[in-house]
Structure 1
Amino acid sequence: MTLSAPPPGPPPGPVPAPASDPAAPALDAAAARRYRTVTRQALGRPEPDRADAGPLAAFVLTHPLAERTVAGLAAGHGPYSLLHLAQEIELHAPLRPGAALEARAELLGARVEAKGTRLALRTRLTGRGTGTALADLTTHVLLAGVSAVEPRGALRTAPAPRQEAPGSKVTRPVAVDREWIARYGEAAGDLNPVHLLPAAAREAGFPDVIAHGMALVAVAVEEIAERYAGGHADRIRALGARFAHPALPGPGTLLELTPPAAPPGHGDTVLFTVRSRDSTAVKGGWARLAPAAGGHR
């Protein structure tokens, strides 16, 4: 994908029908563990001692369908660059290894902006045959260079929950280098050249390869699980984040966490921010924890 100006696109078409994947990939426990292990390497933490999948597994499982859906919407509009703006995930039930799954994606909204077309896409992961909702994901992206999409729907992002009684802020360095970015891309199945090839990144307008935005969110999830959920990644039931600036390899990436105050009853949400050098890479981050006793809600 490039940032070169595309030729005029075709006239706006009808609202696209929801796309579906009736045989979405089943959760592979070994692959989910490998994903978490690679993520934790950026924190200097060992591989997880539990087999929890956590909320990022839902993103990895549904990402191929979401990517195909966005590519279909952009088809015929010339060269474009895809920018991930925000992500929200809510788990309704645990993701079990080997369970038969289905995925369905639908366009929630589209709006032409100065740099291209902004889209909001909802992807739902369900049990195959049962229809039980397992996860809902809302993805906001910008198709830079596409300006012929008919405006429709809504583009609202979920605001970060307020903390009535914030606890002490924690800051943790994150080791982001080219090798780790490549390992994460392989584990997540996201091999976009801007994350892997310096030449492709420069062509897209970046000085070097950039870290995946969801890699930084995954790092936050792992640290939150370790510090505030007893290492149980599956206690993180919902999260949201906005991607404000690319994170480059090299020193200077910091994760900031703000938990609720320690006494019970002060909240169940941890706020997070990721800073890269002098810029905020991930802002408005939040993760909601389930009670230690378990049970989705």
Structure 2
Amino acid sequence: MTTSPGSALDPAAPLLDADAARHYRTVTRRALGRPAPGGTGAGPLAAFVLTHPLAEHTVAALAAGHGPYSLVHLAQEIEVHHPPRPGAPLDASAALDAVRLEPKGTRLVLTTTLTDPATGAAQARLTAHILLVGLRTAEPHGTLVPMAAVRQESPGDPVSRDLGIDREWIADYGHAAGDLNPVHLDPDAAREAGFDDVIAHGMSLVALAVEEAAERYADGDTDRVLAVGARFARPVLPGEGTALDLTPSAAGDTVAFTVRSGGAAAVKGGWLRLGPAAGADR
């Protein structure tokens, strides 16, 4: 297992101050047609934004010297033990739990963890499944554990909402999240990578699901989203016609979601676990 410690507050990423957290959520919510958020909660996607630079560094270190490759984000899980608070000091670590060679390249399971530097207590744990297409020289180890799935025995009424995904929103989200990969910003770079146009960030679609689910089922409080997971099935292009489908459980503690674009599922197997409202019995 390869472990890389580092600061979560990497200079390449936006600091988790109150203004940056609010800006990130405000930009995200624009694609839902919703106004800027109330309150000060940052939500579970703040943990992804903070750890993303360290995750990128860890993958780049594994691939260094092995030739060109392209990275495909296959799936992501986030579990929050304590919601990150703007201005609070945090440490981060990254571990490659599994590496497996496949016909198209190398598949990784990468775990990043946010901890409280004073106590060492875990604040959030993130697990990503990644395929490095074209790279087959890494040393295999570990076991690929399937992503979690949520089965709703008694689903509630499904709802659907159209999403406003355009080039401007994709670019604004990338700057707010600190993910400036050219395939999201530059049409020429996207075409060189095999896409017809720039593509939306996969985690931006998850962020939309978190915001909409919180509005509908958690009184707008994204900090009540304690865990989220999803698999990425296909890219989303601007102006393609994209919709978010949500299905709450009858008990109100989980929400299943799918993102459809261009007539096919772009994000599937999505789920969120909700905690009780502040002051409610646990």
The two structures have a TM-score, normalised by structure 1, of 0.90
1:290 aligns with 2:263: no
CA distance in 1, matches of 2:8, 2:29: 30
Runs of 4+ residues over 4 Å off in structure 1: 294-297
Deviations 1:243-297 (A, max 9, x none): 0100010041000000012xxxx35110000011112110000000001235898
The one of 231, 234, 242 aligned to 1:253 = 242
Aligned pairs for 1:90-129 (under 5 A) are 90-129=79-118
Give the aligned partner of residue 87 of structure 1: 76
Partners of 2:243 and 2:8 lie apart in 1 by 38
Aligned mates of 2:60, 2:188 — CA distance in 1: 23
TM-score (norm 2): 0.95
Which amino acid in structure 2 is aligned with residue 24 of structure 1? Answer: L
- 1:199 matched to which residue of 2? 188
Q: Which residue of 2 aligns with 1:66?
A: 55
Q: Percent identity?
A: 66
Distance 1:21 1:171 in 2: 40
CA contact (8 A) 1:236 1:289 kept: yes
Per-residue CA deviations over 1:175-231 (Å, capped at 9, x if unaligned) read 101000000000000000000111111111111110000000000000000000000
| Residue aligning to 1:279 | 264
Conserved 8 A contact 2:41-2:85: no
Distance 1:101 1:40, change over 3 A: same
Q: Does 1:186 align with 2:175?
A: yes
Shift of 1:27: 2.3
Say if 1:294 and 1:180 are closer, same or farther in 2 by CA, change over 3 A.
Answer: farther
Mapped pair 1:269 → 2:244:
no
- Of the three residues 29, 33, 50, the one matched with 1:44 is 33
Which runs of 5 or more structure 1 residues have no equivalent in the other structure?
Answer: 1-14
Q: Which whole-Å CA distance do the structure 2 matches of 1:175 and 1:296 have between them? A: 37
Q: Determine if contact 2:78/2:127 at 8 Å carries over to the other structure.
A: yes
Q: Provide the residue aligned with 1:235 in structure 2.
A: 224
User: Counterpart of 2:148?
Assistant: 159
Equivalent-residue separation in structure 2 for 1:134 and 1:196 (angstroms): 32
Alignment check: 8 A CA contact 2:217 2:252 kept = no
Letter in 2 for 1:54: G
Q: CA deviation at 1:22?
A: 4.0
In structure 2, the residue corresponding to 1:219 is in which secondary structure? helix
Structure 2 unaligned residues grouped into runs of 5+: none
Q: Indicate yes or no: 2:164 matched with 1:175.
A: yes
- Once residues 8 and 126 of structure 2 are traced to their aligned partners in structure 1, the CA distance between those partners, rounded to angstroms, is 18
User: Residue 226 of structure 1 aligns to which amino acid in structure 2?
Assistant: E
Decide whether the 8 Å contact of 1:246 with 1:281 is kept in 2: yes
After superposition, residues 141-160 of structure 1 pair within 5 angstroms as 141-160=130-149
Contact (CA 8 Å) 2:8, 2:54: kept in 1 or not?
A: no
Kindly indicate whether the alpha-carbon contact (under 8 Å) linking 1:163 and 1:267 is maintained by their aligned counterparts in 2: no
Contact 2:226 2:272 in 1 (8 A): yes
Structure 1 residue 23, shift from structure 2 partner: 5.8
Q: Secondary structure at the match of 1:60?
A: helix
The root-mean-square deviation of aligned C-alpha atoms, in Å, is 1.5
